Structure 1
Amino acid sequence: MSGTAPAPSAAAGAWHGGRATERALCILCPNPGPMTLDGTNTWVLLEPGATEAVVVDPGPLDEPHLRAVVAAVEERGARVARTVLTHGHADHAEGAGRFAELTGAPTQAVGRGHDDLGDGDVVRAGGLELRVVATPGHTSDSVSFALPADHALLTGDTVLGRGTTVVAHPDGELAAYLDSLARLAALTGGGSVTSILPGHGPVVPDASAMVAFYRRHRAERLEQVRQALADGAAQADDPVQAVVERVYADVPREVWPAAALSVAAQLEYLRTHP
């Protein structure tokens, strides 16, 4: 979803995937849309010269895409040793079961019968190390993955390559999301993470600037919601819709249903954080 000001981004125009860092290759799923931007970024992570790869977010149940990911790994003389999910939304995780059939690799995630990724855990394959960073808020099961060797962070939908994301109420929760952004600010501000490899949109080369933008954007939106309530939206038959129509008038109507989820999360936050 669009923010109140342009977000820092690596590129204006379409994102096509491809090599992002020494160890990270993006295979872009052909599922573009208002909520998926150019499509879902499936990340293939492979230590140079290694024969075992980690795949992050195989994407929706799209057989050609899943096979393209397998082919990209095999072209590099490797096999998929492990699959990890940033969260359970279908555009990231629906294809995980079929992908496991194609590769024989285990899938790790939070929830949905997994609960086998915890904050601080290290995922290893072929010399590659990927550290789990719990970042709930977009959804309750959202995690990011730090790739220390490349000073990069894979953020799923917690931070996108363009615009801003949705706090998907009721599963998503704004207080948790703000805490996650604060955590990412500490990581990016300290220099251990310099670039973001998002779940949608282009690579973000200035991670610190993007996270700072996200934090400003959330504070601005929350203040706009407070003002809309004070101006009468609180008394409307449907306060959520009344706030959406006022506060999110600058975004296309096709994403208003998603905006309504964020507004519901904001209203819940204001009830508990007056």
Structure 2
Amino acid sequence: MTGHFTAPAAALADQLPGWVTLLRAPNPGPMTLDGTNTWLLRAPGQEHAVVVDPGPADEEHLAAVAARGPIGLVLITHGHPDHTEGSPRLRDLLDGVPVRAADPAHTLGGEPLTTPGDSLGGPGLDIRLVPTPGHTGDSVCFVVAHGDERVVLTGDTILGRGTTVVAHPDGHLGDYLASLELLSTYRGIPALPGHGPALADCAAAAEFYLAHRRARLDQVRAAVAEGATTAAEVVAKVYADVDRSLWWAAEWSVRAQLEHLGRESGAGTAGLEQA
């Protein structure tokens, strides 16, 4: 049986490029780990930086980010509040710098992120958009290069510890598995997650996540075969080793798993999903 996984999915990164700075928000918790990671990217010798995920509306944190200015662009990995709530205030502190996200609702003063492979600018940096839906429908990653160095900013698609939830109904497991397959091609490139420590190899983490998700799917199939008739009953069987305070989040993933299995087999699972 696959147990609840809380360790890093790959080896930790020994060090990060000198042009990467982590500013962690003071919002630790079961879903945010040590807090939301706000990443600041500034190429050597360049004046303007790029910020990825402002984090929560914490004034001290946002002031610390703004103090690293000048900043020319703010990017968003996905629309959950622990990543975006601080965007309007940070934009004010930065005199109206554009904030760009896949979801227009979280885009301020710029264009939404739409086209895979788009170059998003950043002085001295090559920043490329990689749509990775699954955790949420609007989840994206960013591949950033400076010279021979590259990193992948993964938001909540890959975390620094443990595994992420598929936030059903916005998140979709089929999309998530496809996104992990895509991220498994970034061999030997560090992953900078939305929560937790940086990982040395994005591909290794993605491959671990794929194996873990497929094992969970097997467990869900078995639970249904054994007579589970609601998502909550599946959670009780499959996630018995998870603290009950997190079962609500596990139920998100179970609903996504049941939907995926229903599509896979052509059978309906509406009764299970809605129970």
Report if TM-score (shorter chain) is over 0.5.
yes
Correspondence for 1:272 = 263
Correspondence for 1:91 = 82
How big is the shift at 1:208? 2.2
Provide Cα deviations, 1:239-269, integer angstroms capped at 9, x if missing partner. Answer: 1100111101122222111100000000001
Q: Which of 126, 130, 133 is equivalent to 1:129?
A: 126
Q: Distance in 2 between matches of 1:106 and 1:206?
A: 31
1:33 partner letter: G
Correspondence for 2:43 = 47
Matched, 1:143 2:145: no
Q: Distance in 2 between matches of 1:2 and 1:198?
A: 19
Structure 2: give runs of 5+ residues left out of the alignment: 266-275
Q: Is the 8 A contact 1:9 1:202 kept in 2?
A: no
Q: Is the 8 A contact 2:4 2:239 kept in 1?
A: no
Q: Which of 14, 25, 28 is equivalent to 2:24?
A: 28
Correspondence for 1:256 = 247
The alpha-carbon distance between structure 1 residues 8 and 90, as it changes in their structure 2 partners (threshold 3 A), is same
Q: Which of 102, 109, 123 is equivalent to 2:101?
A: 109
Q: Distance in 2 between matches of 1:164 and 1:256?
A: 14
State the identity as a percent: 51
Provide Cα deviations, 1:210-237, integer angstroms capped at 9, x if missing partner. Answer: 1111000000000000000000103xxx
SS in 1 for 2:120: strand
Matched, 1:202 2:197: yes
How big is the shift at 1:8? 2.4
Q: Structure 1 residue runs of 4+, over 6 Å off?
A: none
Q: Which of 7, 10, 21 is equivalent to 1:8?
A: 10
Provide Cα deviations, 1:167-221, integer angstroms capped at 9, x if missing partner. Answer: 00000000100110011112x23x5xx1100000000012222111100000000
1:136 partner letter: P
The alpha-carbon distance between structure 1 residues 224 and 162, as it changes in their structure 2 partners (threshold 3 A), is same
Q: Distance in 2 between matches of 1:2 and 1:84?
A: 31
Could you tell me the TM-score, scaled by structure 1's length?
0.88
Q: Distance in 2 between matches of 1:268 and 1:85?
A: 27
Q: How many residues align?
A: 254
Q: Which of 208, 222, 227 is equivalent to 2:222?
A: 227
Q: Is the 8 A contact 1:170 1:265 kept in 2?
A: yes
Q: Distance in 2 between matches of 1:204 and 1:242?
A: 34
Superposed CA RMSD in Å reads 1.7
Structure 1: give runs of 5+ residues left out of the alignment: 12-18
Could you tell me the TM-score, scaled by structure 2's length?
0.88
SS in 1 for 2:247: helix
